[in-house]
Structure 1
Amino acid sequence: MELENFIQFIKSFEPNDWVVMVSAIISAGSAFYLGYKNKKFEEKWKQKQIDADLVAKSRIQWIQEARKHTADLISLYYKILNEDNQNEIYKLISLAREKNELLILYFGPEKGENQYIKENDKDILMNEFNNKGKNVYIINFLERLFYDFLKYYKNGIKPKQKYLRKQLKNAEKELYSNLLEPQHVIDYEYDEYGNEKPIYSIPLLDPKLEIQMKKIEDNLIVTNKEIRELQQSIKYFRDIMRLYLKIEWRKAKRGE
């Protein structure tokens, strides 16, 4: 009975009624579809925002930790250069080794990064616009810098510098205490105001003592140069990391 009523209801439709009904169905279907698409779009957009926030937070945390480890390592290297005692230097070297290895883990080569590199390419390391390809160079620099400090310790550079300075001071004292011909007044001259000024002879130094002193001075120059080069390497390392982390911070703020 209900089926017959439905059939009669359909037969009673005029052509215009069919147009209205089909239009209503299409309109309702379109509204449903658009609502569905909008919902999916909003869900996808929210997920992207969540993912971007997580990436930014992770990157910021990584930057903060990398900055701390960098500062710790730089501090250790300066302490090594300022320490005279070899036993204390060894302790600091051991701490620097741990911190160096930890920092290397933070800069594991990026996926697809070329492992064949030129020696500490400054054009790459000091690139101010992006960090592409830097990781493997930073690792190489960290390894070489630690090796230089290890060599510094093994060669006893700081105690050697201290010893040479003491030797130089003693040599100077001996040299001027054993003059072959001491300095003395040989004549007088007058300044523009008529004041008398003595003219001294040049003291005659012992050539053997002069040669000995020159050797000490040359050795001290070499030792001081090695220390200055390590100081420059620390500053270069600081600049590399400052630039790298600055670029990473900008990327974190953009949510990349």
Structure 2
Amino acid sequence: MNELHGRVALVTGGSRGIGAAIARALADRGADVAITYVNSKDRAAEVACDIKERGRRALALEADAADPRALAAAVEETVELLGRLDILVNNAGIFPVGALSELGMDAFDRTVAVNVRGPYAAARAAAAHLGEGGRIISIGSNVAERVPFGGMALYALTKTALTGLTRGLARELGPRGITVNLVHPGPTDTDANPADRPEAAGIAAMTALGRYAGADEVASVVAFLAGPQAAYVTGASINADGGWAA
């Protein structure tokens, strides 16, 4: 469990939920980890403390994923303070739900800015520092594969866009030995999407396994893609969805 020793990772939106689990999983495997946050300063500090308790260096950086300059600054600060950058995980995202008539263009612009422009901007900034064996991993969604409810068109649009971004960047960065992949989590038990809420049983029943994932189960897939065993995996969209799209 030390295959990432000497590597440095940046996880956007790493203060809670899947992002926090990814940050901890990468630290467990030996990486030093920087995370970004917007509003959850105290929770980001807790994650950074957990990483340090694992014997790794950690940074908690305030950066709105909708702001390309803030993301570029987070990349530069990570490189300056931790010495390098090897792994970028584009996890930050927002989840608007509403009918076409309810979600206007302001919602469209904000969602695209965070969920699509953010990963593009972060990848662009990170690519200037990634070397041979570098990794870019984005977090998509099960609704990019299957949309069973109304009111999710805008969110699904942005997560589907990450497939094209992943494939295009894989082609562009492959000659430099950098892999680019996408993970689509299924229903995952987090504070924003608890497995004990009233609707959860029906949602879990749509998966082949009939349950929600733990955030650590999604994080383990990301950690695999970040490691040396996944050196020949690139341009891939991997469903960690419990069979949601089966």
Per the TM superposition, whether the score is higher than 0.5 is no
- Which structure: larger Rg? 1
Give TM-score scaled by structure 1 length. Answer: 0.24
Structure ranking higher in helix proportion: 1
Structure ranking higher in strand proportion: 2
Give TM-score scaled by structure 2 length. Answer: 0.24
